[in-house]
Each structure stands twice: as structure tokens, then as C-alpha cells.
Amino acid sequence: MRTTVGIIGAGPAGLLLARLLHDAGIDSVVLEGRDREYVEHRQRAGILEQGTVDVLRAAGAGERLDREGLRHDGIELRFDRKRHRVDFPALTGGRSVTVYAQTEVCKDLIALQLADGGPLLFEAEALEVEGADTDHPRVRFRHAGREDVLDCDYVVGCDGFWGVARNAIPAELTRVFERSYPYAWLGILADVAPSHDELVYARHERGFALLSMRSPSVSRLYLQVEEGADAEKWSDDDIWGELERRFETEDGWRLERGPITQKSVTPMRSYVHEPMRYGRLFLAGDAAHIVPPTGAKGLNLAVGDVVTFARALTYKKETGSEERLDAYSATCLRRVWQAERFSYDMTSLLHRAPDATPFEGRLQLARLERIATSRAAETDLAEAYTGFPFDEQGDERG
């Protein structure tokens, strides 16, 4: 099998890249190790930055997003039983975010790919990337019970942290930066209408809490718990009781309870692999970087990566210049490190470390008060949360 771009992984990044390349007249093949049902139902974050929404619309994947997605023009910060709303459009020149689950993004992009895109092979397990430093890299994969080879001009690894693409980069050429956090998130899905129409981020002496949603009738909520916690050891009543305590406000706001349909624990970590390119192998999304979920950056960073690659390869096709392909890693990493910075700041601002001192607790409150009383500090948060627009080189500029 032969193609211009071999894409490993049919998550949002791989599927969107295939669509962007199709629109640019560049052929590709997508290899996905799981079956279609798994891809369309795996639960992931669902906060889309303004730039991500704009890219999906331009790629033809915006119809259902615009119909069913929930536009949010702000978030609420809660601390010391007080409430402060951050107004995104007022602070960013009209930008917002949209709540639309990653599963739905995948469904939309899969439908487009199968309708008029290049080959999308499910249950095609990538085994190894060979010849990444040559002009003709190859992906060995297993599909339908036999091994095969995909010959490419370029390979893009959108196969996540545990994928095979990153392993093709020699260890002596790589640098890894990482941090693990001494706490985790207990997340629940509940069949109850969200108790607030925007996301609520709560800092509390007992730990962080987040009120989010999947739809107008399904709530998504999170509690900070100890690292390695077992979700099943938390009863439904204990979860609701703890959420009520952490969201408590002076004005008597009330959290509505409902049947909990899903519980899971998410570890917290930051990770960056440099470089994001080796020869004709390019890494995108979780294959190259992971952020704690506090800043809602993971999916949006992956979108930025594949937009950068698609524009760089289109530029090569149109001009013959590999300048933008050569700059891929540096271009993406500028944005990655800003997202890592923001996600770390949000995490340290709102979570209580197990060994936190009273001094550190007061510093958190001081930082939150600064955001609530300084337009400059509030604007910095709003610009980072909604994301910065892509320019033609794939950079993000404020």
C-alpha cells in the first residue's frame, strides 16, 4: 500500500489531519488499532477553543457542532465561598469556547472520511515506523489477520502516549520533560441537568472541584482525590456530599443531584517530548505532549499540531519549499509550552497539595483575588483559555 501521508491513529487529531490533507488535494491513509465503535464511544474532554471550532467548521465538520454544541462565553471561579465570572468575549475581542464531546468530533470526522476521504482502516494495529530518517518511511501494521506495509512520503504519529510512532526517534536525540502531580480527578457523569450554565472551577480547603456538562441534560463533574484513588470506593452520596461542600457559596447556590452513570479516576501529569519531528516522522497530540486537564488544552493542542503540519505540507506542495516542514517542531513547541504553562498555572492555582502549608493556601487566594480585581490578570486567563488564533505559519499569536 502506498500513500503520501501515513497517519497513525484515528482520534480527533488523525481524523482532522486526514480531512485537511484531503481538502488540500494530498492523499493519506489512516491506520487505527481499535474498531470504529470504540473510537466513537471513548470518553475524552470536550472543551473546544475558538480556533478549534473555526478549523472544524472550515473542514466541513461544523454542522452538528453548531447545532448541538454548547457555546460558553465564560467560566466561573469559586473561592472562599465567593463567585467570580470571567467574561471571555469582553476580554478577548469576542472569543468563546464550545462544549462538544470528543466522541462527537470523532463521529463527525469519521463520517466525512468514509464518505469522500482516503482509506480509513480500523483494527489496523501499527507495529513499527521504519526508515523515518529516509525519503520513504514505512509503517508496518497488522490488519485482517496479516501483516502489511504502508509506504509513505511522510508519517504523522497521532497514536497517543502509548503508541509506536515516538519510539522511532532515537533516544539520544530526545529530551523529555515531565511532572506528575500528587493527586487525581474523580470524574462522574450524571443524568441531571447542569446546575450552572457555564463551567465552574472551585478552589476549596478540601480540594478542587469542577462543574462541567456533556449536554443540557447530562452533567460532568470532577473532584480532586488522592493519587491512585479507587472510584468504586466512593459512594454516590459521598460524591454528591463532597461536591456540595466544595461548591458552596455565600449566596446559597445549590447543586442538583441525579443518578450517577459513570465513575472514573484520571491521573494528573505534564509531559513534553522534544523534538516533535525526526526526518519524515512528525508527532502530534498525546504522542508528543500531555497536559493536566485543568486548562482544557489536550485536544486543542492536538488540533494545533495537525493544522501546522497540514499547512506546512500544503506550502511544500505549492512552493516546493520545505521551510515550514523544517520548522514544524519549533513552531508547535512554542504553543505547547504556553499551554503547559497555562495548565500548570491553573492546576497549582486551584488544587490543594497533600503537603500544602497555610502560606501556600493564602497565596492561592491572593492569586484568585488578583484575577477577580485586575482586568490584566483576568484577560491573561481568558486569552489562554479560549486559545489564540492560528496564523499562516501555524503559530498562535495574541
Question: Which residues does the annotation mark as catalytic?
Answer: 72, 201, 293, 297, 385
Contacts of 341 (CB under 8 A, 6+ apart): none
The answer to whether the CB of 295 falls within 8 A of the CB of 47 is no
The answer to whether the CB of 225 falls within 8 A of the CB of 183 is yes
Residue 235 to residue 253: CA distance in whole angstroms: 23
Residue 99 to residue 97: CA distance in whole angstroms: 7
Tell me the residue type at 30.
V
Decide: helix, strand or coil at residue 331: helix
Distance, CA of 62 to chain centre: 18
Quick one: CA dihedral 172, 177, 182, 188, positive or negative?
negative
Residue 392 to residue 398: CA distance in whole angstroms: 14
Residue 6 to residue 22: CA distance in whole angstroms: 13
DSSP 8-class letter at 388:
P
CA atoms within 13 Å, Cβ hemisphere of 328? 27
- Cβ neighbour number for residue 140 with a 10 Å cutoff: 15
For residue 8, which of 130, 115, 100 has the smallest C-alpha distance?
Answer: 130
Cα angle, residue 238 at apex, residues 232 and 244 outer, rounded to 5°: 130
Tell me the residue type at 168.
A
- Indicate the burial class of 144 (C-beta count within 10 angstroms; 0-12, 13-18, 19 or more): exposed
DSSP per-residue string spanning 53-116: HHHHHHTT--HHHHHH-EEE-EEEEEETTEEEEEEHHHHHTS--EEE--HHHHHHHHHHHHHHH
DSSP 8-class letter at 256:
P
For residue 64, which of 38, 89, 95, 101 has the smallest C-alpha distance?
Answer: 101
Residue 184 to residue 230: CA distance in whole angstroms: 10
